């Protein structure tokens, strides 16, 4: 179900992708599978971000952090997605804080010299907004 949700979202079919992620989240909760639940909640947040349903996106991304923190896996990815959402709705300071948290996690877990996953370049965006 996660793969179907991602496939739909990556193809731009966000409503369908979000539906598959909802099914996956419900099933994961029923069977007690926190990793799948976190991935599905993150997928719902990603889909809602692209549908401009920002409050729902934030709610699901923050909900994904609960199982991610419990299982200690995937937190940086979710914080990066949350940073992008917050930046998109002009909550720049909150976005910067989430991006910094994600960068900090990546710095701890990635081997030295590894390329860090793409995160919003918030400092540059903020400078452009202030200076025109």
- Where is pLDDT greater, at 117 or 104? 104
Cα three-residue angle 59-104-100, rounded to 5 degrees: 55
List Cα–Cα distances, 72 to 48, 105, 113, in angstroms. Answer: 24, 11, 23
Q: For residue 120, what pLDDT band results from cuts at 50, 70 and 90?
A: low
**Average pLDDT of the segment spanning 104-118:** 82
Question: Which residues fall within 8 angstroms of residue 17, CB to CB, at 6 or more apart?
Answer: 4, 5, 6, 7, 8, 9, 10, 11, 43, 47
What domains sit in the chain, N to C, each tagged with a CATH number? 1-73 (1.25.40), 78-132 (no CATH)
Token readout for 62 is: 């923050």
pLDDT of residue 34: 96
- Percent of the chain scored above 70 by pLDDT? 89
Tell me the three state secondary structure of residue 85: helix
Per the CB < 8 A criterion, the answer to whether 82 and 58 are in contact is: yes
Q: For residue 117, what pLDDT band results from cuts at 50, 70 and 90?
A: confident
- Where is pLDDT greater, at 59 or 120? 59
**pLDDT (tens digit per residue) in 2-60:** 999 999 999 999 999 999 999 999 999 999 999 999 999 999 999 999 999 999 999 99
- The pTM for the full model equals 0.82
**End-to-end Cα distance, the chain:** 44
């Amino acid at each position: 179900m996660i793969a179907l949700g991602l496939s739909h979202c990556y193809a731009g079919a966000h409503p369908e992708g979000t539906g598959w992620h909802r099914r996956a989240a419900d099933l994961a909760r029923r069977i007690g599978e926190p990793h799948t639940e976190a991935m599905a909640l993150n997928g719902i947040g990603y889909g809602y971000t692209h549908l401009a349903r920002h409050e729902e996106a934030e709610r699901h991304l923050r909900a994904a952090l609960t199982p991610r923190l419990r299982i200690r896996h995937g937190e940086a990815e979710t914080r990066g997605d949350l940073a992008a959402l917050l930046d998109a709705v002009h909550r720049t300071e909150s976005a910067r804080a989430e991006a910094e948290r994600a960068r900090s996690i990546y710095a701890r877990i990635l081997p030295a010299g590894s390329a860090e996953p793409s995160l919003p370049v918030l400092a540059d965006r903020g400078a452009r907004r202030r200076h025109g």
